Structures are given as structure tokens and as C-alpha cells.
């Protein structure tokens, strides 16, 4: 939907831009600045970085390409966009790896200076794609960014290498002009970021403006564009990534539970941000511990929980596998730890910087014996905050290890987040027993089946726990067959009863109909967007998104029963679908993608049309 006004400004509802270049080209910075500027301007925004797995791949090579996608809009959006409308390609390798995603008819801004023989060879181009008609399907705008940037900065006193490092700001300037963005926030940011190096700050400012002016005067672009403010719920906002929200959520949970937090973790992509983030919060009393390995990290979390603190550990899929045995120990000792799994593409080392939802069944069952745990999964970057608090609330109230299933797309993606007030958050103080007369380590609450969290330092409550089977009530070692049967059942029922303590599943759209699209985790944005579109075209389709995966919300069975068909899109081969089929005997249909990329709105939409129209046909 576009309208033209006299200043040749076209109005758009939504634009998706991808900045792509060499990992040294500063594409993440350019993308983040564009995002913050758009958010401050009042658009809704959603972002997705795409880093190379290699830290320092050779300059100009295909594996060395780094990209950042940002979608901004005048209405509420839930994903960073299926495909970019604009691709900024700083070199041939960036063009080659990102062109397949560019929308047909999309705009391509290329740094023409870099399309030289060496770079073309590194990108395995036989012919220069800027010549000939390979790019005929796109609007190609060739800009000699390297040389124009160099010219703008010839008097800056910087070395040629330093000058080249500001090319991203030139490109950003062009984009700012093209989409009518103010430059002030970025100019201000340069001053702060390069406070120690005013010459660099000045160079970036100069070239940013040069890029902007170039856009205005060069007449390479027939129009420029306006994306109006979005109509977002009122409040004070900031932009937040999922991993930042996760760190803040756990910190906040510690305040709400009035228990100190120990975060023990071993660096692993894409979860390391959380350790880095929490390590900055020392003044809040948070203790972070960079352990020697994954096993030590969870061991320390268990030790902290035994001591009455909140024991938290975080990892990605391979690390979750390593922690399995210790999670079993926490199941047996019924200690409240939380394990964060920021999932990535597997198996094994897989694709560390690419996304997948492959760990659901590992989280459910990846341990020896009958070993139930609670599982929660945030749906959006901002939701990581809420679900972190929920994870701690569930773990401490139900004395059960709880897995927080995030993923790389949520963790590094960002969205505007309404800054909460502490008063709006409910505290959930947890108690520990002190009465030596009545204390039994494995006596259970009649309703929740929870055992007391007795902590060292309490006189008269000295007791021993461990991985061996416990005798009901006393907690002494027991090999009694009936006791084992009873304890296995207790541990299972204890987790099942959490369902009474979590919200029911809500349905977006009508509570019954032809099709329910059921999802979990980071596919939320694509599913909601697709379902909303289909609904506005009159299709009988609703959506529901599970943020509690074990136990399921108590009304899930009822919700499923009200629809003729159930579609479960997942970034795996059908793990939730397997659980739903087993549990509810519902013949759910899968939409399964394992490309390392997030799910696309269009993919869900196509499937919805297929299923709902099939239905229409069969009724006819």
C-alpha cells in the first residue's frame, strides 16, 4: 500500500532492510543504529543479526559475511520480515550469500568499488554480476562507497585503513536519507562510543552526513520513503534482545523471590551474552561463575540451590547434553535450579550461529530414568524477561529443575520492550523450614507434593541428600521396590500439578474453527502474523502459542478438541507434534523447517491456505 505525495515521498507500512558486508565492515553497528533510530522515531521494529561462525574468516570471503536485518513499520510486527526489501551489499561475497533472500523487485544498494577481480574471485563469481543482466530482477543502485567515503575523509588525518572502517557510516547515511530518518541519535552515539578518539567520531559523523547528502543529490533513487509511527501500546520503551531480557528477568526474579542469584555457565554460542550481561550486575549482588565446563556449571548451580540460593546455569544444546546427568541429580534431590538452553542448530556442534528448535525432546526426556522437569519457552525477545521470572517461580515453588528453552533467534533478535515497573511484578517469596521437631527432608505438601527446601545453617535440620533413591518422607537411602514406585510417581505428579499454577492457554481468534495453528518458542512472530493475515481474509483459523511445555496448560486438550485440524509449525522434525499426538491422540499436521533460519510468515500462510481450502473442498 503506497501513496505518493508531491515531494516524491512514498508512504510505506513496512520496510525490511538487510545490511550485509564483511565481518570487518561494521554491519551489526550500522543495523543497530538504524534500528534504534527507527524505534526512537516511533516505528515498531524487529531485528535479526546473522553472524558468521568463524570469528575472523578471510576478508572478502563467503564465510566472512556478516549481516543484520531490521524490519520497521507503522503497525505492530512480530518478525524481522520474511525477506528484505532492500539489501545493502558491501562486497561481492555479501551479495552472493544474501541475494537469494532479497524480494523480487527489491532494491539492491551495492558498494561498486569492491567489485574488483580479487573480491569477485573470493566470492566465486566468474563474471561481475554488476555487468550483464544477472540482477535484472532487482533495482540495482551502484554506489562507489569506498571511494566516496575516502574522499569525504581525505582531510581527517586518519590512516587509509581507519578511513575504510567508516564505510558502514556512509552506507547508513544513504539509508537514513532513503527512509527519512533523523541522524541526531547516531551522531550522538558516535560521540559517546568514540569519546576517547574524537578523530574517529568526527570521521563517522562526516561520512554519515556525506552518505545522506549523496542520497539527496545523486538522483539515483527515484523516490524516498516514509514509514509512519506505529500505533504501539502506550508506555516507555527500549529496544531489547532476548538474551538481555533473559539476564534482566533472572535478576528480577531473584529480587521477587528474595533469594540471591548464582549464575554458573561455560561460554557457548549463542548463550554467552547472558553470562556477559549478568557479570556486569555485581552491584546487585549477583554472583557469576565462569565454570571449567558444562558439568561444573550445573554442579555449582545445584550447590547454590542446596545452600538456599537461586542456582542458575545456561548453555546451548551440546551443553544441555553434557548437563543431563546433573539435571537428573536435581530431579532426585528435588532442588530448584533453572537451566537456560539457548538452542542452536544441531546435532553435535551443528551450526552454532544458526537457529533451530531441536532440543525440546532432549529437554523433556534427555536423562536416564523417569526424570521429569518443568519446561518453559519464551515466545519473543521481550518475553524472555517474563518467562525467566516464571522459570524461577516454578522451580522454587515446586522444587523442581526447570528448563528455559530459548533459541539463538530470540537471544540475539530484538524488539521494543515496554519498560516494566517493579510494582507491577508479583513477588513470590519462598520459605524454608526451621522447625526441627516436625522436619522431614522428604515430607511432601499434600497439594503440590513439594518437599521442604531446608538449607544448611538451620540448626536441627541437618540431613543428607543425594542421587540414590530416597525413602518417602525420611529421605534415607531406600531400595525398597514399592517405595521406588511411589517416589517415581511423586516426582511425576509433582510436575503435573504445576499445571494448576500456570495460566491457561489463550487462543488468538475464535475458540473453535477449521484450523488451529499451535506453536511454541520463537516461531510466535511468523505464526501470529500469518494467522492474522489469514483471519483478515476470512479464513477460519486461530492460533495458540505454548509458553509452558511441561506441564502443558490444563486446558490444552479442550482447545485442541475445538478445531477440525491442528497445524504445528516447528523448526525441527516434529517434536512438539510428537508430544501432542502421544498425549491427546490428535492427528496434528507438521510444518517443519530445519534450515537454520527462522520460520517465514509466508511458509505458515501457504500451509494455512492449503489446509483450510482442502477442508472447503472436502465439505463441498
Task: Summarize as ranges the residues that interact with another protein (CB under 8 A).
Answer: 36, 39-40, 42, 185, 232-239, 248, 251-252, 255, 260, 262, 264, 281-285, 287, 289, 291-293, 295-309, 311, 325-326, 328-329, 333, 419-422, 456-468, 476-477
Helix (H, G, I), strand (E, B), or coil: what is residue 542? strand
CB closer to another protein out of 260 and 557: 260
Q: How far is the CB of 163 from another protein (least distance, A)?
A: 28
Instruction: Yes or no: say if 222 and 10 are a contact pair by the CB < 8 Å rule.
Output: no
CB closer to another protein out of 323 and 593: 323
Query: Exposed, middle or buried, 267 (CB in 10 Å: 0-12/13-18/19+)?
Result: middle
Q: How far is the CB of 461 from another protein (least distance, A)?
A: 7
CB closer to another protein out of 322 and 403: 322
Task: Match 482447545 to its residue by C-alpha cell.
Answer: 559
CB closer to another protein out of 332 and 539: 332
Spatial distance between the Cα atoms of 326 and 315, rounded to a whole number of angstroms: 14
Q: How far is the CB of 516 from another protein (least distance, A)?
A: 32
Residues 6+ apart with CB under 8 A from 416: 39, 44, 45, 232, 237, 238, 239, 240, 382
Q: How far is the CB of 320 from another protein (least distance, A)?
A: 16
CB closer to another protein out of 56 and 236: 236
Instruction: Yes or no: say if 534 and 486 are a contact pair by the CB < 8 Å rule.
Output: no
Q: How far is the CB of 456 from another protein (least distance, A)?
A: 4
Q: How far is the CB of 359 from another protein (least distance, A)?
A: 22
CB closer to another protein out of 107 and 186: 186
Q: Read out DSSP for 445-457?
A: -TTT-PPP---TT
Spatial distance between the Cα atoms of 601 and 83, rounded to a whole number of angstroms: 10
Nearest to 49 by CA among 239, 231, 195: 239
Q: How far is the CB of 34 from another protein (least distance, A)?
A: 13
Phi, psi (degrees; rounded to nearest 5) at 368:
-80, 150
Q: End-to-end alpha-carbon separation of the chain, Å?
A: 34
CB closer to another protein out of 211 and 249: 249
Nearest to 391 by CA among 502, 234, 483: 502
CB closer to another protein out of 239 and 550: 239
Q: How far is the CB of 33 from another protein (least distance, A)?
A: 10
Q: How far is the CB of 528 from another protein (least distance, A)?
A: 20
Q: How far is the CB of 144 from another protein (least distance, A)?
A: 32
Spatial distance between the Cα atoms of 244 and 601, rounded to a whole number of angstroms: 25
Q: How far is the CB of 284 from another protein (least distance, A)?
A: 3
Q: Read out DSSP for 287-324?
A: EEEE-SSHHHHHHHHHHHHHTTSEEEEEE-HHHHHHHH
Q: How far is the CB of 39 from another protein (least distance, A)?
A: 7
Task: Match 518458542 to its residue by C-alpha cell.
Answer: 521
CB closer to another protein out of 160 and 233: 233
CB closer to another protein out of 115 and 237: 237
CB closer to another protein out of 308 and 519: 308
The neighbour count for residue 595, using CB atoms within 10 Å, is 13
CB closer to another protein out of 166 and 333: 333
Q: How far is the CB of 410 from another protein (least distance, A)?
A: 19
Instruction: Yes or no: say if 44 and 416 are a contact pair by the CB < 8 Å rule.
Output: yes
Q: Where are the alpha helices (H) located in 107-180, listed in sequence order?
A: 117-122, 145-152, 160-164, 167-178
CB closer to another protein out of 256 and 527: 256
Output b/e per residue, 103-125; b: 16+ Cβ within 10 A: beebbbbbbbbbbeeebbebbeb
Helix (H, G, I), strand (E, B), or coil: what is residue 381? coil
Output b/e per residue, 351-367; b: 16+ Cβ within 10 A: ebbbbbbbbbebbbebb
Q: How big is the chain, counted in residues?
A: 620
Instruction: Yes or no: say if 372 and 492 are a contact pair by the CB < 8 Å rule.
Output: yes
Q: Is the peptide bond before 303 cis (omega within 30 degrees of 0)?
A: no
Amino acid at each position: 500500500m503506497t501513496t505518493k505525495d508531491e515531494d516524491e515521498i512514498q508512504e510505506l507500512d513496512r520496510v525490511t532492510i538487510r545490511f550485509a558486508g564483511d565481518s570487518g565492515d561494521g554491519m551489526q553497528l550500522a543495523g543497530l543504529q538504524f534500528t534504534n533510530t527507527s524505534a526512537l522515531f516511533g516505528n515498531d521494529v524487529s531485528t535479526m543479526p546473522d553472524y558468521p561462525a568463524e570469528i575472523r574468516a578471510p576478508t572478502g570471503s563467503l564465510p566472512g559475511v556478516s549481516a543484520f536485518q531490521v524490519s520497521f513499520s507503522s503497525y505492530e510486527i512480530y518478525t524481522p520480515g520474511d525477506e528484505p526489501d532492500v539489501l545493502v551489499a558491501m562486497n561481492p561475497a555479501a551479495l552472493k550469500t544474501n541475494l537469494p533472500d532479497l524480494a523480487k523487485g527489491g532494491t539492491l544498494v551495492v558498494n561498486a568499488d569492491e567489485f574488483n577481480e580479487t573480491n569477485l574471485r573470493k566470492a566465486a563469481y566468474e563474471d561481475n554480476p554488476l555487468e550483464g543482466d544477472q540482477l535484472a530482477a532487482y533495482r540495482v543502485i551502484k554506489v562507489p562507497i569506498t571511494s566516496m567515503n575516502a574522499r569525504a575523509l581525505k582531510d581527517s588525518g586518519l590512516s587509509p585503513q581507519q578511513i575504510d572502517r567508516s564505510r558502514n557510516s556512509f552506507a547508513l547515511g544513504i539509508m537514513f536519507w532513503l527512509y527519512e530518518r533523523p541522524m541526531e541519535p547516531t551522531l550522538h552515539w558516535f560521540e559517546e562510543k568514540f569519546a576517547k578518539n574524537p578523530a574517529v567520531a568526527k570521521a563517522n559523523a562526516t561520512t554519515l552526513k556525506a552518505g545522506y547528502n549523496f542520497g539527496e543529490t545523486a538522483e539515483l533513487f527515484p523516490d524516498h520513503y516514509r514509514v509512519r509511527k506505529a500505533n504501539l501500546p502506550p508506555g516507555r520503551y527500549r529496544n531489547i534482545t532476548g538474551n538481555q531480557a533473559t539476564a534482566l528477568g533472572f535478576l528480577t526474579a531473584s529480587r521477587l523471590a528474595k533469594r540471591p542469584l548464582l549464575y554458573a555457565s561455560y561460554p557457548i554460542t549463542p548463550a554467552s551474552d547472558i553470562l556477559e550481561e549478568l557479570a556486569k550486575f555485581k552491584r546487585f549482588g549477583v554472583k557469576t561463575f565462569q565454570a571449567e565446563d558444562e558439568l561444573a556449571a550445573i554442579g555449582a548451580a545445584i550447590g547454590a540451590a542446596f545452600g538456599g540460593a537461586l542456582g542458575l546455569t545456561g548453555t546451548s544444546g551440546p551443553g544441555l547434553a553434557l548437563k543431563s546427568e546433573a539435571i537428573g541429580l536435581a530431579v532426585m534431590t528435588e532442588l530448584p535450579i533453572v537451566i537456560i538452553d539457548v538452542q542452536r542448530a544441531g546435532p553435535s556442534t551443528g551450526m552454532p550461529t544458526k537457529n533451530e528448535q531441536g532440543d525440546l525432546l532432549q529437554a523433556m526426556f534427555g536423562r536416564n530414568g523417569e526424570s521429569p522437569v518443568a519446561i518453559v519457552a519464551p515466545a519473543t525477545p521481550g518475553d524472555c524477561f517474563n518467562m525467566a521470572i516464571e522459570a524461577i517461580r516454578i522451580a522454587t515453588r515446586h522444587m523442581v529443575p526447570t528448563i528455559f528453552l530459548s533459541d539463538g533467534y530470540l537471544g540475539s533478535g530484538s524488539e521494543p520492550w515496554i519498560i516494566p515497573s517493579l510494582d507491577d511484578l508479583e513477588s513470590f517469596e519462598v520459605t524454608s523450614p526451621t522447625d526441627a521437631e516436625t522436619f522431614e527432608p522428604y515430607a511432601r505438601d499434600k497439594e503440590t507434593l513439594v518437599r521442604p527446601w531446608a538449607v544448611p545453617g538451620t540448626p536441627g535440620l541437618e540431613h543428607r541428600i543425594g542421587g540414590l533413591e530416597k525413602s518417602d518422607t525420611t529421605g534415607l537411602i531406600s531400595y525398597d521396590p514399592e517405595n521406588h514406585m511411589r517416589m517415581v510417581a511423586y516426582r511425576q505428579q509433582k510436575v503435573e500439578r504445576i499445571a494448576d499454577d500456570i495460566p491457561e492457554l489463550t487462543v488468538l481468534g475464535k475458540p473453535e474453527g477449521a484450523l488451529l495453528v499451535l506453536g511454541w518458542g520463537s516461531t510466535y512472530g511468523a505464526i501470529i502474523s500469518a494467522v492474522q493475515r489469514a483471519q483478515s481474509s476470512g479464513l477460519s483459523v486461530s492460533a495458540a502459542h505454548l509458553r509452558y511445555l511441561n506441564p502443558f496448560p490444563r486446558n490444552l486438550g479442550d482447545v485442541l478438541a475445538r478445531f477440525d485440524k491442528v497445524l504445528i509449525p516447528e523448526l525441527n522434525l516434529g517434536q512438539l507434534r510428537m508430544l501432542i499426538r502421544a498425549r491427546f491422540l490428535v492427528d496434528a499436521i507438521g510444518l517443519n523447517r530445519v534450515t537454520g533460519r527462522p520460520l517465514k510468515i509466508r511458509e505458515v500462510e501457504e500451509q494455512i491456505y492449503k489446509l483450510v481450502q482442502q477442508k472447503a473442498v472436502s465439505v463441498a
